[in-house]
């Protein structure tokens, strides 16, 4: 093993890892921009602790702190109670809720597509409705 090349190898590894981290941050920025486009022309309503679940509609991750629920008549946005490590926009979500509602403090766990290993437990916040102006 050549010790003279070790710093070069370490530098290359840092550059590669830094590039990966940067691309993840870029993806979150794109998803936030997508959410901003979805909310354009909509007006925020009063936050609610619980919202009714509709069959065939699921919570969708926006970034590590935000999930949305696209229900008839409103786009509901929940800012999680804290940062949710590993939560990405393309993750499936396991939701531990009771009855036919999603509520603040319900547990969610991200699952990377193609995997069956759930991530960290995270908690939903209140849901803010965004409705089209004039409705």
Name the residue range of residue 64's domain.
3-132
Determine the pLDDT at residue 34: 77
How many residues appear in the chain? 135
What is the tens place of the pLDDT at every residue in 70-124? Answer: 998 899 999 999 999 889 888 999 999 888 999 999 999 999 888 888 989 999 9
What average pLDDT does the chain have?
80
Residue 20: pLDDT over 70: no
Tally of structural domains, the chain:
1
Q: Band of the pLDDT at 24, cuts 50, 70, 90?
A: low
Q: pTM for this one?
A: 0.74
Q: Per-residue pLDDT averaged across 36-59, rounded?
A: 90
Lowest mean pLDDT, pick from 27-36, 78-87, 123-132: 27-36
C-alpha to C-alpha distance for 35 and 62, rounded to whole angstroms: 7
Bridge partners of 101, per DSSP, are 52
């Amino acid at each position: 093993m050549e010790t003279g090349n070790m710093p070069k190898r370490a530098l290359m590894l840092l550059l590669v890892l830094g590039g990966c981290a940067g691309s993840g941050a870029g993806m979150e920025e794109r998803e936030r921009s997508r959410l901003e486009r979805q909310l354009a022309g909509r007006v925020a309503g009063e936050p609610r602790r619980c919202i009714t679940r509709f069959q065939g509609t699921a919570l969708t991750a926006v970034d590590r702190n935000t999930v949305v629920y696209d229900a008839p008549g409103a786009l509901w946005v929940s800012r999680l109670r804290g940062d949710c490590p590993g939560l990405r926009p393309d993750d499936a979500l396991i939701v531990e809720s009771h009855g036919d509602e999603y509520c603040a403090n319900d547990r969610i766990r991200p699952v990377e597509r193609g995997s069956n290993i759930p991530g960290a437990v995270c908690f939903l916040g209140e849901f803010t409705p965004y409705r089209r102006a004039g409705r």
